[in-house]
Chain A
């Protein structure tokens, strides 16, 4: 049997699709590559439509919505306190920070934010910073895994497990805590928490230095991430990037300092920024370096909180963590926007209430991962496909928050 020799005939294409395929417009080099939604290095169900020219990324189009869970509609049909478990599920790696943002907004709307006991505020900051370290550990660990290092992933999960167990013991759940309530807390800290937290800090400090040596100063890691996916500061500001992505580009912008909410003004800490020590300012290395340095700052904050909780705001028998919890949460008619520094950047909630019902008329969540993800085509364009993977990991997205 004679084999049929197929031959490319441009006139066939022009006959079938005369407007789309002009023979002179056809490019044989470009290829559309679908990355995801089940690709492990996309950090969840993110689908990327990548237009490639050989190994070069010409364009990236993120497709979202695989994890859409109607958070805003849920929040518009439930009382404010019942939405707290759903806020946890937005950014499930830094649930305590999301809760903190949500609860602070409602307290300000009700006008009880000045009546919250100082001990409650310190506990909130303490658990939020513990969760921030855990979230950054996941970010750095999976990032190292993305670009080919397996050991940091396992070591960081081992260290994160200690934080998870501490929070589990305190709050009753591993990741989705429902611990911070409007006007207080679910429980007070258990007896012995201070000692256990202190020993955890003593454990984590050398581990963080070890992490710096293992990942950040690693020669292979630097070669892989320096000068890759450089995000200039004007682009970062234009796209609304916040958190370590913006700070990696060299702007000292942290809502914990800028807004000074909760008890952060009473606590002494620095904001690490990317200085371009390995390559240009705003490359993947800078963003990860900022995360590691932030872990050190979080430990400083935790130490100061523990000192306050041990001395000025000691546990007493009379202390009730639910003393100012309102019986009925019904804010007056208003539009309100609240924001806080989540683990990934500025997490904001917009409320519109009518003053007559317990449920808000409209809730909009300004998710930091969503805005950070929007800058991905800008930084991945023109690089290699392998660098695209490095770029996705370095902006640290959580798809639960992107799709909400």
Chain B
């Protein structure tokens, strides 16, 4: 049946001797294949080559430190309440004398655990945090784990490394709006 007028009429006449050798059609077909070698590839070589995932991508969690290297988290538990998957758990502790260079407020999280099998990367913890402590990194995925013990990420994996700070273009909504205005 005729659906549109886009269909091409094919030539069904007798082939000549040269055409019957199938060399020209072979060359045409190989030409198409060779042309594709020089075209832009839609795939990337993943582990060596990484894409920029966007300014708000939700990846690996991070517990931020402030400018002086002190932990921001005060173990208020709002992220654990906001978490739909109940992945976050924490134990709060009071700051002792002489620990002011480690923790910003009087209370801090002695244990802060995220179960990465439960986490659904919705970003609601980041939104709930009043101290701008927990963030989802835009430049790093959660690594693959093979053991069941590796699944629960403690503070050793979550707290920011002071020598290798995590940077982002905009930390808050107000920052983002300033950024957009400058553009």
A82: which B residues are within 8 A, CB to CB? 82, 84, 124
Stretch at the interface among B24-32, B49-57, B94-102: B49-57
Select which of A89, A161, A188, A217 is within 8 A of B6 by beta carbon. Answer: A217
Contact at A317–B180, with CB atoms within 8 Å? yes
A178/B55 contact (C-beta < 8 A), A78-B84, A217-B6 known: no
In the assembled complex, how far is the CB of residue B45 from the closest CB belonging to chain A, in whole angstroms?
Answer: 15
A161, closest chain B residue (CB): B42
B91 within 8 Å of A (CB atoms): no
In the assembled complex, how far is the CB of residue A351 from the closest CB belonging to chain B, in whole angstroms?
Answer: 18
Select which of B55, B84, B138 is within 8 A of A85 by beta carbon. Answer: B84
A138 to B127 Cα, complex, angstroms: 32
A158: which B residues are within 8 A, CB to CB? 42
Contact at A320–B173, with CB atoms within 8 Å? yes
Stretch at the interface among A19-27, A141-149, A163-171, A236-244: A163-171
- Chief secondary structure at chain B's binding surface: loop
Contact at B56–A187, with CB atoms within 8 Å? yes
A191 to B173 Cα, complex, angstroms: 14
The total of Cβ contacts below 8 Å across the A-B interface reads 72
Contact at B183–A172, with CB atoms within 8 Å? no
In the assembled complex, how far is the CB of residue A2 from the closest CB belonging to chain B, in whole angstroms?
Answer: 56
Contact at A277–B123, with CB atoms within 8 Å? no
A212 to B7 Cα, complex, angstroms: 11
Contact with A along B126-170 (1 / 0, CB 8 A): 010000000010100000000000000000000000000000000
Within 8 A of A (CB), among B22-73: 42, 51, 53-58
B1 within 8 Å of A (CB atoms): yes
Interface size bracket, B side:
20 to 34
A173: which B residues are within 8 A, CB to CB? 57-58, 121
A216 to B7 Cα, complex, angstroms: 12
Contact at B42–A277, with CB atoms within 8 Å? no
B17 within 8 Å of A (CB atoms): no
| 6 A–B contacts, CB within 8 A, in A order | A78-B84, A82-B82, A172-B58, A173-B58, A186-B123, A187-B56
- B residues neighboring A (CB under 8 Å): 1, 3-4, 6-7, 42, 51, 53-58, 82, 84, 120-124, 127, 136, 138, 173, 176-177, 179-181, 183
- Nearest first, the 9 closest Cβ-Cβ pairs linking A and B are A169-B54, A82-B84, A85-B122, A172-B56, A178-B122, A172-B58, A158-B42, A191-B183, A191-B180
